[in-house]
Amino acid sequence: MKNFLIKLLKILLVFVLSTMIIYTFFTLKKLINLSNKYQISIFGHMTYIYELDTEMINNLSEEVKQMNQFAELLREEAENSIYKNDGLEHSLGDGHIHTFGEFFDPVGFSAWSLLQSTVYNIFAEYIRISIALGIVVAVTYGIISSKKVNKVLKFIIGYIGVMLAFPPLYMYSWTGRFWDFKAMYLNGDSKFFYFAYTIIFLLICLTNYIISKKMTKELNNAIKENKKKMC
């Protein structure tokens, strides 16, 4: 029972660490890509005006125009509010139907909405995939580190099995249905998963081999020491 709990705690630790590392990697990569897209410097010096890309600025202006359209809509709804001149105190949570433009500056609220959406997309997009890959890594570690499973089964279950099972299950979690073979196994995300998981699998195997070899060496040294003492 004690050995089982220790093994379970190790697997949980691998899950937590791998999930955090994967999430940090993906999120930081997205943040850097977004920074490069909008030429926003998060590391190093500020971006100079003459370095700005004209097409990027023009595309950004379209987003600002959409934001202004939303602000105008809020302003019009606020002007037409039936509670505007009733002389009573109102709030968003008073049970009446209000628009945000009644309590917030429409332009400021629109800008906040755009920032909220951008920040949310950066930090929330990879939560699910990070947890899913964390579970995969933890399960793989549990299989590879198990002494009761032979090497062939470890490869079949821990590598081939995961390669076959993860893409359709992950797509099902997003879309609620299974797709055809090409859509599930030959899309860009699946190919990236194959590459990344192969590296992870090899690293887990190598780490487990080094740990096992070290433990075997320590065990052999302990046996030799006991034999010397007995002699």
Q: Assign 3-class secondary structure to 180-214.
A: CHHHHHCCHHHHHHHHHHHHHHHHHHHHHHHHHHH
**130's tokens:** 């990070």
pLDDT one-digit tens code per residue, 89-127: 666 666 666 677 667 778 887 888 888 888 898 899 888
pLDDT one-digit tens code per residue, 156-214: 888 898 888 888 888 887 777 888 888 888 887 788 888 888 888 888 888 888 887 77
- Rounded CA separation 137/158 (Å): 9
Check residue 96 and give its pLDDT. Answer: 63
How does DSSP classify residue 53?
-
Higher-confidence position of 231 and 214 = 214
Q: Does the pLDDT value for residue 87 go beyond 60?
A: no
Q: How many CB atoms lie within 10 A of CB 18?
A: 22
User: Whole-number mean pLDDT of the chain?
Assistant: 80
Check residue 229 and give its pLDDT. Answer: 64
Helices (H), ranges, 39-104: 54-79
Check residue 8 and give its pLDDT. Answer: 85
- Measured between its terminal Cα atoms, the distance across the chain in Å is 36
- Rounded CA separation 140/205 (Å): 9
